[in-house]
Structure 1
Amino acid sequence: MEHEAHTAHAHHHEVAATSTWAMAVRATLHCLTGCAIGEVLGMVIGTALGWSTVPTLILAITLAFFFGYALTLWGVLKAGVGLRAALKVALAADTLSIAVMELVDNGVIVLWPGAMDAELTDPLFWWVLAIALAVAFVLTTPVNKWMIGRGKGHAVVHQYH
């Protein structure tokens, strides 16, 4: 039992030692890809249909989680992991990262004057969306570095690569 605890403790330090900013940036870029696909699609659909703020945000957030999880799931399934295990990996790897990214980017959009009222043809719609995703990337990267350093988040996915 003592040996198992020591081995687990040593493995934890091994993972923490490999947590670099480059790893965190790659993990966050992966998260940003799925989030951006869902976020942009949700905002475009909600805006095009003339929906109010809340339904548009719900759609954008739902699609961001869907595409974020789907990208991880696809990679893990390609590595030969079964569907149930791959779902667990995707949930463990991405939930906090996507949640932080969505909180930040939607927060920027909602707080930016006029952004939620901008139409698809208004440059404000696109600029604020791009700025919000960039801010979310910057603020989510340290979260991913912290998680990877503890063997969580995208560190879980790396064992299948």
Structure 2
Amino acid sequence: MDHGTQHHPPAAAHGHHPPASPAAAATSWRMAAQATLHCLTGCAIGEVLGMVIGTALGWSALPTVVLAVALAFVFGYALTMRGVLRAGVDGRTALKVALAADTVSIAVMEILDNAVMLAVPGAMEAGLTSGVFWASLAFALLVAFVLTTPINRWLISRGKGHAVVHAYHHAH
């Protein structure tokens, strides 16, 4: 093995997060919104897929929501891992980074968007051809985005959440 080209991941891979940079201390709403949108993309793919599968199969709300949440985490982590892997990080480390970067954000989004879906009368039973189903799902994802953005801003300002991912992108 050529030790001159050996990959040395940032300290975050070893459970230590890099010190908060001046940029992290002055985290902008735009940066937080971009991180939330990135996270929401994976969540939305999984959420929509889970809702579509559960609704198409005629499942009740509980198994549909469980499937949607599970797929939201899978797709959310996968999108983050894709970017980290492109930075030259190994799969195990990329998974650790994705878990550190996205777990809180995805969990909050899933609680919020599923609460909205369950709260809208008839949304879960409406069926895939119903405007009520799609409008409720779009509204639920919008609520999740709006309410998760301040949480991501707070996390990033403390060198956590998507700040962990940025440490890998800027290290390579």
Q: Normalization by structure 1: what TM-score?
A: 0.91
Q: Corresponding residue for 1:4?
A: none
Residue 142 in structure 1 maps to residue 150 in structure 2: yes
From 85, 97, 104, the equivalent of 1:96 is 104
Q: Which has the higher helix share?
A: 1
Counterpart-to-counterpart distance in 2, 1:78 and 1:13: 23
Select the residue among 46, 65, 68 that pairs with 1:60. Answer: 68
- Provide structure 1 residue ranges, at least 5 long, that are not aligned to the other structure: 1-10
Count of residue pairs brought into register by the alignment:
152
What amino acid maps onto 2:98 in structure 1?
Answer: A
Contact 2:50 2:71 survives alignment (8 Å): yes
**Percent of aligned positions that are identical:** 70
1:122 to 105, 116, 130: 130
Structure 2 residues not aligned, in runs of 5+: 1-18
Paired residue for 1:26, among 34, 40, 48? 34
33-42 or 16-25: which moved more? 16-25
- 1:78 deviation in Å? 0.6
User: Could you report, residue by residue, the CA deviation over 1:97-116 in whole angstroms, capped at 9, with x for unpaired residues?
Assistant: 00000000000000111111
Runs of 4 or more, structure 1, over 4 Å off, are none
RMSD between superposed Cα atoms in Å: 1.3
Distance in 1, matches of 2:26 and 2:168, equals 16
